[in-house]
Structure 1
């Protein structure tokens, strides 16, 4: 790719970002609503995590630190050990609950932001009160697609771990080991940005079409031809932006007051969430561009019936 071609791709990426930004201006009420409500839920989960989980971790560490100082043959040792097990079970239970709630929120967030972006992009008429039911109709398809994406992602990073252990085994110098590990991580992260082109686009397809799972991934790989350089740059842009926000955590003085660290963490979590949501908006815009390049008619979303239907009918859209 020569310099002028690269500049053209950059300009087209900027065009996608600008078009995505305009969706929030085009339909302020809908777009900011579907962004604000999941954001609020994520903030509540973060606050619960910070307020409820931290004492559990503190108790677990405190009880564990008392074990080496206690005679194993005394009843006190058994009592401390039982409290450690109890604290650990409580911590794991709370962690499972938070992960489950976060997963549900992320699933619903993806549904509403993609659906709202598509509606706004195509100027489809609908009533706000019908939007939740129309959107939730497609949660099963997105869930199946996310399951396959998670499997592919786990397999991909498992390969990273295998290669990393191989490097650990054959390396003798610590400096060389650290450099190789960082280089390997960067290589895998960049290539994941390339793989995520199909993954992200398949999520949009799962919501806007009657296609999900492996079929959605296959269709995404098919229609994305001609758009990969743009979407790859988009993924790199959002990835670097999120990475930069996360790195701010390293600059936080965690020894300062709890309220300061809580507020700072809340701002960062919210920022990363907003970045991810805006990325989904750009992929919705990119979806219509991909379909346009394929010569398909996308003037109406065939799988979304913007009529007043009963909730029973709408929720039965997928098996």
Structure 2
């Protein structure tokens, strides 16, 4: 039996129509999938940018935990900073007044130079001693703040005695890490100082040169923010992990920051802006009296405010540390033993289904 041509042609037309309809439906499904993926990507980018708000909120909640430990560390730190500040003032003030009196006294050049040399030598020694004492105190407060923040984050507690012993037995690790972070900072500033004269050669105009310097300084500050985040996180790592400090802590901090660059950048920017605002607010107050009462009070309030900002910064980066560890598939759990000088951090790999 032969099939009519009309039916055969109708069958071919139907198959072609089905192919066209199928390709159109596939394109529609594909376009919808692409649209959904783009929306999901936009939502993820939005969440990544504004997730720093959640980190700050979580850091603020830590303030209400372990209140006695925080009050002890804060009170002791502020008292010691105040003591060092006044000792520095009363040690330096006689030297400065003596130096001013000698310079304005009209002595001969040889006697004047000898006197200035002696006073400057004593002044440098005194300042060096107080700088070392201040750095030691900053190391103590940083280590203690990180320990307290970690215990608060993990909803655990410890006594003041345990805290003091742990700080005393772990200060070497953040000290070594702080040494390397200081070298990085010095190297970065040196590069900026070497590059600035080269950039100034672009223009001979004074106004244009000032504008170039300002723009270059702003760019330098912005580019330093990721480095600042890595350095602060490295200090947290050196306190939290017994076998990781120095260059190794910096390398690990760089790896942890990779998935949270935007949040760390914004947090570093916020803390830098806060410190600059506080510094400039106290700088606006003018006082012509050398080492007068208002100058001393302004100096004290500046120390207190910068200390509080620095303390909250390390609390925030402790939260960032735990979040980064979790994002990399590791769950951190503090386990305090009966020995007062021992802390163990248990690291558990999460299942893939639990990994965000």
Give structure 2 stretches of 5+ with no counterpart.
1-40, 344-356
Structure 1 runs (4+) greater than 6 angstroms displaced:
none
Q: 1:85 to 1:200 in 2, by over 3 A?
A: same
Greater CA deviation, 44-53 or 183-192? 44-53
Q: CA deviation at 1:29?
A: 1.0
Paired residue for 1:317?
none
Q: CA deviation at 1:86?
A: 1.1
Give structure 1 stretches of 5+ with no counterpart.
71-75, 315-319
Q: 1:167 to 1:201 in 2, by over 3 A?
A: same
- Is the aligned partner of 1:276 residue 2:310? yes
Paired residue for 1:16?
55
Paired residue for 1:35?
74
> How many angstroms apart in 2 are the aligned matches of 1:39 and 1:6?
41
Pick the aligned partner of 2:132 from 100, 106, 114: 100
Q: CA deviation at 1:278?
A: 0.5
> How many angstroms apart in 2 are the aligned matches of 1:232 and 1:49?
36
Number of residue pairs matched? 302
Paired residue for 1:153?
185
Q: Which protein has the larger Cα radius of gyration, Structure 1 or Structure 2?
A: 2
> How many angstroms apart in 1 are the aligned matches of 2:271 and 2:44?
21
Q: CA deviation at 1:232?
A: 0.8
> How many angstroms apart in 2 are the aligned matches of 1:219 and 1:58?
50
The answer to whether the 8 Å contact 1:202/1:217 transfers is yes
> How many angstroms apart in 2 are the aligned matches of 1:5 and 1:58?
61
SS at match of 2:63: helix
Paired residue for 1:73?
none
The answer to whether the 8 Å contact 1:35/1:113 transfers is no
Paired residue for 2:325?
291
- Is the aligned partner of 1:120 residue 2:152? yes
- Is the aligned partner of 1:216 residue 2:216? no
> How many angstroms apart in 1 are the aligned matches of 2:96 and 2:147?
39
> How many angstroms apart in 1 are the aligned matches of 2:109 and 2:185?
43
What is the TM-score with the length of structure 2 in the denominator? 0.79
> How many angstroms apart in 2 are the aligned matches of 1:98 and 1:31?
25
SS at match of 1:225: helix
Q: 1:249 to 1:54 in 2, by over 3 A?
A: farther
Q: CA deviation at 1:113?
A: 0.3
- Is the aligned partner of 1:130 residue 2:162? yes
Q: 1:261 to 1:26 in 2, by over 3 A?
A: same
The answer to whether the 8 Å contact 1:13/1:234 transfers is yes
Greater CA deviation, 229-238 or 292-301? 292-301
- Is the aligned partner of 1:231 residue 2:264? yes
Greater CA deviation, 35-44 or 98-107? 35-44
The answer to whether the 8 Å contact 2:200/2:212 transfers is no
Higher RCO structure (Cα 8 Å, ≥6 apart)? 1
Pick the aligned partner of 1:245 from 269, 278, 281: 278
Q: 1:55 to 1:162 in 2, by over 3 A?
A: same
Q: CA deviation at 1:169?
A: 4.4
What is the TM-score with the length of structure 1 in the denominator? 0.87
